[in-house]
Structure 1
Amino acid sequence: MTLTSPGVPKSAYYVALDGLRAVAVIMVFFQHYGAGRAFLFGWGWTGVDIFFVLSGFLITGILYDSQHKGHRYRDFYVRRTLRIFPLYYFIWAIVLLVARLAHWQWNWRWALWPVYLGNYARFFFLHVPGDPYRFDKLTFGAPVSSWFGYPFHLYIGHFWSLCVEEQFYLIWPLIVYQVRRRETLIKICLAAVIFSPILRGILSVTLSPQLLRMELFYRSLPTRLDALLIGGLVALSLRGPEEAMVRRLSRPLLLISAALFVALYLIATKALALPLDGSASNWIGVFGFTIIDVFAAALILECIHPGSALGAALSWRPLRALGIISYGFYVYHDLLHDVYSELAHRVSTEHPFAMTLLVAFTATLLIAALSYRFLERPLLKLKDRFAGQVHRAPTV
């Protein structure tokens, strides 16, 4: 893949976006393994926002560019299926196979995850004991239990973002292919960006504090549409007369959105003394998400700008390599959190946190690379049979 420049065909890919995926997945990794250790790590959840905006950008571009092609629905959904389903259902197949061995008790709320509704599991089953975002107290019998000294957990809560994206993939193609007119689609995206904070503001005073503390705003599609459609708005704007203006706005948007979020943070935490609970913070949920998503969109615009220093940095080969396997890295990274932590504590009693990071990152990287090589890539090659839909980079 190469950066686009004058004369490069529209089918060229933006190399730097692989690097941006890598940065996003690293942020999420540090959120799950180090949020309580450093202030900066506690903001790693914003990596998911980058993924959402990036998905909206790429998917909307694919859909708009293919709207007049034959078999467009078939091609889109087959290609998405080949990219997403194999790894996701591979994990669930393993879970079902080892459930009895692990002494894990099934209940019906777990059925939401295989049908991509697991992001709502904790909200639909408020009064059911246990955490629907993890498999609790897996013992695997006396030998394993005695080695660990306690039953460990299998964490699948991070799959919630995959559910949100899959729900988006089911709805947005129908809208793009039926509406078709770019100007109307832009208005739809703008409406979502404007009304999403309003919706979250209304819900913030009507829903119970319990639901808000459980990150309902962060984890449901209706309250995250602005993230996905800000990316869509950028993709559509780059395919029309607004392109030059949008490209010029990338750096001002970076500065303005960053300044706005810092101002929001200072007003909320210092002036109003509101609590900071990460993505569950009410003031972040109402206003902050949109500002963060605008920042992510500006990052994408800067990444794809020819000659940009950020684009060059994110095109660094190691970052690109991680970006290519970032889907697998994301899926695998938190599953065996307890196992990595226990191994790290046994290896180094003096620096268990640093060792946990090293063990978890290295193991996840290895597993993701093997998964991509032997599971994902062979199936991805089948996508070429449905080559009517690929991400097309607008010409500069």
Structure 2
Amino acid sequence: MRSKYSGHVGMFMTTEKPPVAANARSAYYVALDGLRALAVIMVFFQHYGAGRAFVFGWGWTGVDIFFVLSGFLITGILYDSQHRPHRYRDFYIRRTLRIFPLYYAVWIAILLLTPVAQWQWSWRWALWPMYVGNYARFLFLHIPGNPYRFDWITFGPVVNAWFGGPMHLYIGHFWSLCVEEQFYLIWPFVVYQVRRRETLMKICIGVIFVLPLVRWLLSVVLPAPLLHMELFYRSLPTRIDALLIGGLIALCLRGPEQVLVRRIRRPLLAVSAALFVGLYLVSIKLLRLPLEGSASNWIGILGFTLIDAFAAALILECIHPGSLLGRIMSFKPLRALGIVSYGFYVYHDLLHDFYSYFANRYFPKHAYPVTLFVAFSCTVILSTISYRVLERPMLRLKDRFTGQVHTAPRV
């Protein structure tokens, strides 16, 4: 039996087929749908509640879960298909049919709305459709103005006057899609050219251990404004270890190392969490370093690695047969959100100003909870419609034109 992975392989992979038995060679990891839902919920509360509660301020770590999951799944697909005659064609056709339709549909809609919205365009906005928008805020620091202005598109005077203030379309969260797309352009060539599993594992391990040192060196030589604007967090060269941590466990599960990997999943959860808490206490309480979320230097240097190791352990625990976490993440409502998580991620922050305006205009005494409710509900509705009308037809089309499937290792 074959299990066709019909979604965005990596951050938002979904399936349209029921899961097969957990011990089957091609078992579909049901719990990973729930893990995607958890990650996208974390990101949602980061954008809508970081200033309201301390725990919401850590919602950005949901992106790390996505990155590690991407590396895990994409490496598995590439390794399993490396001897297929049309491996490059199959891989890129499937990724194109999954990722591009929704992403570019949003950009086409933005373009068509220009006469009404009167967007304040510049040629630099083209960086986002080219999947390099994650570098936009860093490339033009020499230009006067708010460096964060490339994370949103400002409406024209007519719309702003109607709403009584400046309104924006938020696109800054697309940065993680850019990072993933850049990874997709590089990693297939490495896997297909190197081929040997042991060599690929050495590459992953080497990058994982070297990158914290690279980030430390960069923290010394780079200007402070670049670091404060989350350069480490948003750039593929400084985040590729997150993707390769996922890739490493995928490769381990395809060899004799799988026994060891299964055994260390819970110790890895505990040790990575304990080390991060220790790093936090030393940095904040002892060294009095500032806590600036994902822009904190101490998080960027060592914290990312520990967070990504924790995410890898979460994945291993989710896919382990009979695990409690796996059963929790297989809860149907979570899985339902996980299936549409790509659209949820794309849409969730776009209309942030409009949800806030509605809540403050009509429910001023309860504006914040109403904003959360309206934003979450509308995003679920939009992403569900998007999945059924746009994404699912593309999923069927990609399975028709290519034969590449993901065969999961036995665990």
TM-score normalised by length of structure 2: 0.93
Secondary structure of 2:374's partner?
Answer: helix
Whole-angstrom distance in 2 between the partners of 1:145 and 1:5: 54
Partner of 2:253: 238
The answer to whether the 8 A contact 2:120-2:156 is kept is: no
235-244 vs 104-113, greater mean Cα deviation = 104-113
Corresponding position of 1:349: 364
Question: After superposition, where does 1:127-166 map in structure 2 within 5 Å?
Answer: 127-128=142-143, 129-130=145-146, 131-136=149-154, 138-139=155-156, 141=158, 144-166=159-181
Query: Hey, what does 1:390 align to over in structure 2?
Result: 405
Give the Cα separation in 2 of the matches to 1:314 and 1:298: 14
Contact kept in structure 2, 1:101 and 1:140, CA below 8 Å: no
TM-score, structure 1 normalization: 0.97
Q: Is the 8 A contact 1:3 1:15 kept in 2?
A: no
Counterparts of 1:22 and 1:306 in 2: how far apart (Å)?
Answer: 20
| Greater CA drift, 311-320 or 122-131 | 122-131
Alpha-carbon distance in structure 2 between the residues aligned to 1:3 and 1:106:
49
Report how far residue 384 of structure 1 moved: 1.1
Name structure 2 gaps, 5 residues minimum: 1-17
Q: Deviations over 1:299-344 (max 9, x none)?
A: 0000000000000000000000000000000000000000000111
8 A Cα contact 1:344 1:352, kept in partner: yes
Q: Which runs of 5+ in 1 are unaligned?
A: none
Instruction: Report the counterpart of residue 361 of structure 1 in structure 2.
Output: 376
1:207-286, aligned counterparts within 5 Å? 207-286=222-301
**Distance in 2 separating the partners of 1:364 and 1:5:** 32
CA contact under 8 A between 1:109 and 1:125: conserved in structure 2? no
Taking the aligned partners of 1:290 and 1:3, their CA distance within structure 2 comes to 33
- Rounded Cα–Cα distance in structure 2 between residues aligned with 1:3 and 1:285: 39
**Which string of whole-angstrom CA distances, capped at 9 and with x for unpartnered residues, describes residues 96-129 of structure 1?**
1122321222212111111100000011111333
Of 49, 73, 81 in structure 2, the residue corresponding to residue 66 of structure 1 is 81
Instruction: Tell me the CA shift for residue 147 of structure 1.
Output: 3.7
Secondary structure (helix, strand or coil) at the match of 2:238 reads coil
| Distance in 2 of aligned mates of 1:105 and 1:349 | 30
Q: 1:133–1:157: 8 Å Cα contact kept in structure 2?
A: yes
Matched, 1:2 2:9: no
Q: Tell me how far apart the structure 2 counterparts of residues 390 and 340 of structure 1 sit (CA, whole Å).
A: 40
How far 1:178 sits from its partner (Å)? 0.3
1:134–1:155 CA contact under 8 A, matched in 2: yes
Output the CA distance in 2 between the equivalents of 1:3 and 1:249. Answer: 26
CA–CA distance in structure 2, aligned partners of residues 347 and 14 of structure 1: 43
Partner-residue secondary structure (3-state), 1:306: coil
Give me the CA root mean square deviation.
Answer: 1.1
CA distance in 1, matches of 2:237, 2:407: 27
Percent of aligned pairs sharing the same letter? 70
Match of 1:203 among 212, 218, 231: 218
Q: Is the 8 A contact 1:61 1:235 kept in 2?
A: yes
Q: Using the alignment, how far apart are the partners of 2:356 and 2:72 within structure 1?
A: 36
Q: Give the counterpart letter for 2:29 in structure 1.
A: Y
Looking at structure 2, the residues matched to 371 and 77 of structure 1 have their Cα atoms a distance apart, in angstroms, of: 22
Q: Work out the number of aligned pairs and report it.
A: 391
Q: CA deviation at 1:393?
A: 1.3
- Partner Cα distance (1:250, 1:344) in 2: 44
Shift of 1:391: 2.5
- Of 319, 325, 328 in structure 2, the residue corresponding to residue 313 of structure 1 is 328
Letter in 1 for 2:201: I
Contact in 1 for aligned 2:22/2:28 (Cα 8 Å): no
Following the alignment from structure 2 to structure 1, what is the Cα–Cα distance between the partners of residues 22 and 133?
A: 42
Q: Which moved more, 1:341-350 or 1:330-339?
A: 341-350
Q: Which residue number corresponds to residue 39 of structure 2?
A: 24
Aligned partner letter, 2:121 = W
> After alignment, is 383-392 or 363-372 more displaced?
383-392
SS in 1 for 2:407: coil
- Contact 1:4-1:304 at 8 Å conserved across structures: no
Distance 1:256 1:3, change over 3 A: farther
- The C-alpha deviation readout for 1:23-50, integer Å capped at 9, x for no partner, is 0000000000000000000000000000
Query: Does residue 349 of structure 2 align to residue 331 of structure 1?
Result: no
Structure 2 SS opposite 1:266: helix
Find the residue that maps to 1:357 and give its secondary structure: helix
The secondary structure found in structure 2 opposite 1:37 is coil
Q: Distance in 2 between matches of 1:347 and 1:191?
A: 55
Q: 2:205 corresponds to which residue?
A: 190
Counterparts of 1:376 and 1:231, CA distance in 2: 25
- 1:395 is paired with a residue whose SS is coil
Q: In the alignment, does 2:123 pair up with 1:108?
A: yes
Residue identity in the other structure for 2:224: P
AA in 2 matched with 1:5 = A
User: Within 2, Cα distance between the matches of 1:147 and 1:343?
Assistant: 13
Q: Is the partner of 1:222 in helix, strand or coil?
A: helix
Once the two structures are superposed, what CA deviation does each residue of 1:182-226 show, in whole Å capped at 9, x if it has no partner?
000000000110011011000000000000000000000000011
Distance 2:173 2:157 in 1: 23
